[in-house]
Amino acid sequence: MGIPTTVIRHADERLAKCSLTPLHGRPEITFLKASHNFRFDATGFIVLAVDAPLLSTADAGRPLLLLDSTWRLLPKLRQRLDGAPVFRSLPQGVRTAYPRVSKIAPDPAGGLASVEALYLARKLLGDDDPTLLADYRWRAAFLENLSAANRA
């Protein structure tokens, strides 16, 4: 069935551009919208963050929490978490295939599209589920980037 995953989407995130939209309806994924007074107890959840210890199989067994937002709005979304989440990062060197263009703020060099981050996190936790990428337009390019990073 896959790792239980909760996706919290920033209220200003555009669904039409969201790489996770095709995953709606999957039984192991719960989607929540962070409206004005939204709070979430993230105790025990793995939350992906670029400045955290590396995710590994030692983290298996914990649910995954994915914050879905532009990089600029991510700090505000992260402030809506309560409790004691477990922050983890993804390996450096994996390039996104998503054609990012931000006119407001630069994206981190190691930043991935949400569906790319979800796939890689679950793969690292022992749940390699290629169906997560089935409807991702840049799937082939991302898998090639991932393969290249593993060869480096």
Query: pLDDT per residue over 70-89, tens digit each?
Result: 778 888 999 999 999 999 99
Strands 86-88 and 46-48: parallel
Identity of residue 29: I
pLDDT at 145: 92
The confidence band for 107, taking pLDDT boundaries of 50, 70 and 90, is: low
* C-alpha gyration radius of the chain: 15
- Per-residue pLDDT, averaged over 131-144, amounts to 95
What is the rounded distance in angstroms from the CA atom of residue 137 to the CA atom of residue 149?
20
Identity of residue 52: A
The helix (run of H) or strand (run of E) holding residue 122 is helix 114-124
pLDDT at 110: 63
Q: Which one has a higher pLDDT value, 141 or 10?
A: 141
Residues 6+ apart with CB under 8 A from 14: none
What is the rounded distance in angstroms from the CA atom of residue 69 to the CA atom of residue 9?
6
Query: pLDDT per residue over 18-70, tens digit each?
Result: 888 899 999 999 999 998 899 999 999 999 988 899 999 999 999 999 998 87
3-state secondary structure of 86: strand
Segments making up each domain of the chain, as ranges: 5-151
What is the rounded distance in angstroms from the CA atom of residue 109 to the CA atom of residue 137?
21
Instruction: Indicate the pTM of the whole model.
Output: 0.89
pLDDT of 108 higher than 60: no
- Phi, psi angle pair for 75, to nearest 5°: -60, -40
pLDDT at 100: 62
